[in-house]
């Protein structure tokens, strides 16, 4: 079975249209989230893929607030993955949506760092890894650098698990 996202790309390429995602199209729906997340994961942080997908992810996140349900957990974990794979692309994308970024940052501990998602020590290791990665990431742009610093600050102020190595 061909994914809707791949079909969109194939048909757009065949008609000479751009492969970018129209965030108002039916593809940018919660039901398509697994395909969209898979596309980003398979790209291994490709700048163009992230630039095409992030507006959709941000819109989907905004539609879900103030829920802390499974969709927001998936979206937040996707944001964290994109941030790890390509910090510049992530912070450039969220710079265009400061309200959504602020909402996500507020909910980050509840949706991406809860022991219901993963063992507590694995989450602690992930938190420390993100802090290190972001502190050493080369991010260009004043706004993007400020957003990076705010994520590092948020991660740094989250309670650490003293029982983990």
Q: Report pLDDT digits (tens) over 73-103.
A: 888 989 999 999 999 999 999 999 999 999 9
Domain annotation covers residue 8: no
What is the average pLDDT across 116-137?
Answer: 88
Domain annotation covers residue 13: no
Domain annotation covers residue 53: yes
Domain annotation covers residue 69: yes
Using the CB atoms, write b or e for 92-112: b if 16+ within 10 Å: bbbbebeebbebbbebbbebb
Domain annotation covers residue 5: no
Number of other CB atoms surrounding residue 2 within 10 Å: 7
What is the average pLDDT across 110-116?
Answer: 79
Domain with 55, as residue range(s), is: 21-111+118-157
- Could you give the number of structural domains in the chain? 1
Smallest Cα–Cα separation from 97: which of 71, 145, 61, 50?
Answer: 61
Domain annotation covers residue 152: yes
Asked whether residue 17 carries a pLDDT value surpassing 50, the answer given is no
Q: At what angle do helices 70-85 and 87-95 cross, to 10 degrees?
A: 120
pTM (predicted TM-score) = 0.78
Give the pLDDT band (50/70/90) at residue 114.
confident
Number of other CB atoms surrounding residue 51 within 10 Å: 15
The model's pLDDT over 18-48, given as tens digits with 9 standing for 90+, comes to 456 555 554 788 888 888 888 888 888 888 9
Largest CA distance in the chain: 57
Domain annotation covers residue 57: yes
Domain annotation covers residue 51: yes
């Amino acid at each position: 079975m061909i994914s809707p996202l791949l079909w969109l790309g194939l048909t757009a390429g065949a008609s000479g249209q751009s492969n970018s995602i129209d965030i108002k199209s039916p593809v940018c729906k919660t039901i398509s989230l697994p395909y969209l997340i898979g596309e980003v994961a398979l790209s291994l942080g490709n700048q163009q893929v992230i630039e095409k997908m992030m507006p959709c992810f941000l819109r989907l996140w905004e539609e879900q607030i103030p829920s802390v349900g499974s969709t927001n957990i998936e979206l937040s974990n996707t944001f964290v993955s994109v941030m790890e794979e390509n910090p510049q692309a992530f912070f450039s994308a969220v710079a265009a949506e400061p309200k959504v970024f602020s909402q996500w940052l507020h909910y980050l501990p509840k949706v991406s760092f809860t022991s219901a998602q993963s063992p507590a020590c694995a989450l602690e290791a992930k938190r420390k890894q993100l802090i290190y990665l972001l502190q050493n990431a080369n991010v260009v742009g004043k706004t993007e650098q400020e957003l990076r610093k705010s994520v590092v600050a948020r991660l740094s102020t989250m309670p650490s698990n003293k029982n983990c190595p």
